[in-house]
Amino acid sequence: MKRQHLVFISALIFAFAFSAFAQTAQPTPPQNNAEDDEVIKIDSRLVVVPVSVLDRNGQPVLGLKAQDFRILEENKPQEIAQVSDAEKVPLEIALLLDISASTDAMFQFEQETAAKFLQEVMRPEDRATIFSIGANPVLIQARDTAEKSAASIKSIQPTKSFTAFYDSVFAAADYLQKNAPQGRRKVVVVISDGEDTNSERIRNSIQNGYKNLGKKIDTIDSKSLYQLTVKSRNEASLREQNRVLQTLQNADSVFYSINPAGNSYQLNQGSVFGQSNLQKFAGETGGTAFLPKLLPIDLKDQSQNSQNFRKNAETLVTIFRQLANELRAQYLVQYYSDGDFPNNKYVKINVGLNNPNQLRVRARQGYFVKN
C-alpha cells in the first residue's frame, strides 16, 4: 500500500532551491506570491507486520507499546507508526483441513479439536473461513462466525483422494487478501502433513517431463521413469513453495500448521519435504509449524490403542491451546518504508524488542514489494 505525505515548504524566491528533491518529489508549479506554500509529494509504503510476543512459559505478553518494538528493514532502522494489540484488532482465520489419504485415523478428533479451538479463540467480531485440502481446494464456508465455522468443520468428510496442498494454501491466502477487511490480523491454520500430489503446476510439470521424452518414454525402464517423475515433481515443488509463500506474504498473513503425521514424517522423502513446506511458510511469516509426537493407534493391542488415542488427544489439545496463546499475544506493528525497491523484490525485515528480557518474538521475515 502507498501513502502520500504532503510536505509544505515555503517557497520564497528561488524555486530551484528544491532541486535536491527532484527525483523523489513532485512539486507544484511555483507561485508568484511568496507567501504561498509549495507542495512536495513523497511516496512511501505501508508495511504491516503481525508480531507475537510470548514469555518463557509460552504465555502471551500483553500491553506492549510502539516504543517497546524495534524494526530493521534491510538492516536500516525504521520508525514505527502504529502498534495495535490483539484485543483491539479483529481476527481473520482461514482454517484448512486435509481430507486426503495422507491423513491418519485421528481425523475425527482433529475436526472436533479444531472446531473447539475456533469457538474458544474467536470473538463476536472475528471471522473464520473453512477450506478442505483434497484433490482440489474446496471452500467449505466463506467468512462467518465461530459457531457456524465449527459446524462446518464437523461436517467435512475424509476421502481417499490426492492432495492439492499448494493450491489450497494459495487459495486460502488469496481469499484473505481479497475478502478480509483492511486492518485485521490474518491467520492461515493448516492441519496437514504438507505433502502435495495433485496441485495443478505439479501435475503439469510431471506431464511435461513425460512429453519431453517423446518416443523414448516407450523404451525407458521403470526406475529411470520414476527418477524423472521425482525430479520433475521436486523442481515444481520448489517453484510452488516460493509462489505460495509470496501469496501468504502479500496477504500479510501468518501461517500455522499442525502435522498429524508426527514423527512418522521421517519415513520417506515426500513426508520430509512436506514438513519442510510447513516449516518454511511458518518461519517466513512469523507463525509456528507444530509437529506433535503422536503415538500409533493401529496396533494389534486394542487396549494400547485406546491409551495412545487418549494421549494423542491430550497432545492436540495442548497444541491448540498454545496456538490460541500465540494469537492472543499477536500485535499488528505498522511502519512506512520509503525504501526505493523494485517491484516484487523480497525485502528482509527484522523485528525485536528494545528490552527482550527473555521474551520470545515471532514475526514475518520480510515482504514482497508491491508498487
Exposed (0-12), middle (13-18) or buried (19+): which is 357, by Cβ within 10 Å? exposed
Beta bridge partners of 354: none
Q: How many residues does the chain have?
A: 371
Nearest to 261 by CA among 130, 117, 163: 163
Contact, 178 vs 144, CB < 8 A?
no
Q: Spell out the alpha helix ranges (H) of 56-137.
A: 107-121
Find where cell 502498534 sits.
83
Indicate the DSSP class of residue 272.
Answer: H
Asked whether the beta carbons of 186 and 251 are under 8 A apart, the reply is: yes
pLDDT (tens digit, 0 to 9) for every residue of the chain, 371 residues total? 444 333 333 333 333 333 333 333 444 444 444 444 443 334 578 999 999 999 988 888 989 999 999 999 999 999 999 999 878 899 999 999 999 865 566 788 889 999 999 999 999 999 999 999 999 999 999 999 999 999 999 999 988 788 999 999 999 999 999 999 988 999 999 999 999 988 999 999 989 988 888 888 888 888 888 888 888 988 999 999 999 999 999 999 999 999 987 666 566 676 788 889 999 999 999 999 999 888 878 788 899 989 988 898 899 999 999 999 889 889 999 999 988 899 989 999 999 999 988 899 999 999 999 87
Spatial distance between the Cα atoms of 328 and 117, rounded to a whole number of angstroms: 13
Tell me 15's DSSP state: G
Q: Which domains does the chain have, with CATH numbers?
A: 2-86+333-368 (no CATH), 91-327 (3.40.50.410)
For the packed helices 165-179 and 200-213, what is the interaxial angle rounded to 10 degrees?
140
Pairing of strands 289-290, 2-10: unpaired
